[in-house]
Amino acid sequence: MDGKTGNAKSGVRLGHVSHNGQPCIGLHFPYDKVLIAAAKDAGARWSASLRCWYTPNSPERLRAIFAAFKGIAWVDSSPLFTPKKMPLSSGGPPPVQPGNAHAASKPTAQPPPPLGATQQAALDAMRRKLEIGRYSPRSIPVYLGATKQLFRHFPNKHPNDIRTEDIETFQHHLASVRKVSNSTLNQAVNAIRYYYMNVLGDERRVTFIERPRKETKLPLVLSKSEVAAVLKAPTNLKHRSLLALAYSGGLRVSELVALRPEDLLFDRGLIRIRGAKGNKDRTTLLGRSTAELLKRYVEHTQTRELLFEGQGGGPYSARSAQKVLQTALEKAGVRKPATMHTLRHSFATHLLEQGTDLRYIQTLLGHSSSKTTEIYTHVSTRYLQGIVNPIDNLDAP
C-alpha cells in the first residue's frame, strides 16, 4: 500500500482471496485512513503479498464488514456472489494445487470494469451537488458508491436512460442476490433518489420507488448497576475516563474520539460536540463525577489536540474504544454483547426512566426526529414495573 492519501471515492470492493491456504474475503480500496480504521474494526488484516486487507470467509465476518463501513463507504460485495466464467477452451475445471483446495473452490474476484465517460460525468455532477449541499465527508462516498453500483448494473445504458423498472430490478438484485441489509437498501434508495431528483431534476422517475419494510429492533441496554460496574472496572485512568464520558454524554463513538480538551465545559457541566451526525453541533451533559475524573485525566495527560489519542499520537480508533469496553465488561462480569453504542442507549433509557422529557433526550442525543428517540419508550421498564401481572392474583403455582 502506497503512502498517498485517498478520499474513499471508490468505495470498498470485496472479493475471494486465499491466505495461507484458507478462503478469505479480500477488501480492496485506495489508501484512506478512515477506511483503514473501518477495516480494522471489521477484524481485517493487511497482507503485503495479496496487496489488500483480508478476513476469514464467513457470514459473520461479512456482516461485520457491512457494519464497520456503514455510513462510511459503499461496499461492493457482488464479486463474492458472481462465479467466474470458465474459458471455453479449458475443457473442465482448473487443476487443484496440492494443499490449496480452498483457493480453487473460490475463484479470485476480478476488478470491475471502469465506468464509461457518461457515467463518470454523471457521478462527478452528483459529487458537485453533494458538496454544494454541504453533505458530510462520510455521506458523499456512500451516495456516490451506491449510484455507481446502479450504473454498473446497467453498463450499456446511459444514466439518463435508466428507468423506474430498471431501478426496481437493481433493488431486487441487492435484496435477493446480494442479500444486503435493510439499512444498505435504504442507503441505495436515498442515493438514487438524490441523483434523479437533485442532479437530473426528474422527481417522477423515483417517486414510487419501494423502500424495504422498516425493522423494529430494540436496542440493548445495560442496567444502572451494570453500567456502574463497567465504569469502575478499568484501573487505567484514560480507559475509565473514556467509558465514563461516553455514558455521561450519551455520545456516539465517532463523537467521543473526536473530542478536544476545550470541548469539556467544566464550569457549565456540559460537553460541546462539533460537526456531529448531519453536520450539527450540540451540547450534552457532563456529570459531576465524570468532570472530576476528566480533570484528573487532563492534568496527567500531555494531550496535543484530541482528548483521547492513540499510541502513535493520532486519533483513538473506534476499535480500540470497543476493546476497552470489552475488557471492562469481562472484568465486571457483565455477560452481554454490549458495544460502545450500548452506553449511549443506556444513557437515554436511564434518563427516560428517571422522568426526563423525551424532547430533552432527543436534543441531548442529537436526533433529528422524535421518532428515533421514541424507541427508548419500548426499552424502558419504568411503567412495566408498576403493572401487576394477573397470574400473581390467581390461586395457582
Which residues are the active-site residues? 252, 277, 341, 344, 367, 376
C-alpha cell read off for 304: 496535543
Helix count and strand count (H, E) for the chain: 16, 8
First to last CA, the chain: 67
What is the three-class DSSP state of 369?
Answer: coil
Whether the Cβ atoms of residue 171 and residue 209 lie closer than 8 Å to each other? yes
Given a contact cutoff of 8 angstroms between Cβ atoms, the answer to whether 93 and 70 are in contact is no
Which helix (DSSP H) or strand (DSSP E) does residue 270 occupy? strand 270-276
CA distances from 230 to 152, 255, 346 (A): 47, 20, 12
Which helix or strand (DSSP H or E) is residue 28 part of? strand 22-28
Rounded CA-CA distance 297/158 in Å is 58
What would the grid cell of residue 237 be? 485512568
Edge-to-edge strand order for the sheet containing 280-285? 264-265, 270-276, 280-285
Between helix 340-353 and helix 237-249 the angle, nearest 10°, is 50
Q: Cα(94)–Cα(103) distance, rounded to whole angstroms?
A: 11
Taking the CA of residue 341 as centre, how many other CA atoms within 13 Å lie in the half-sphere pointing to its CB?
7
Neighbour count for residue 58 (Cβ, 10 Å) = 12
User: Which three three-digit cell numbers place residue 271?
Assistant: 460537553
Q: Grid coordinates standing for 248?
A: 455521561
β-sheet bridge partners, residue 272: 283
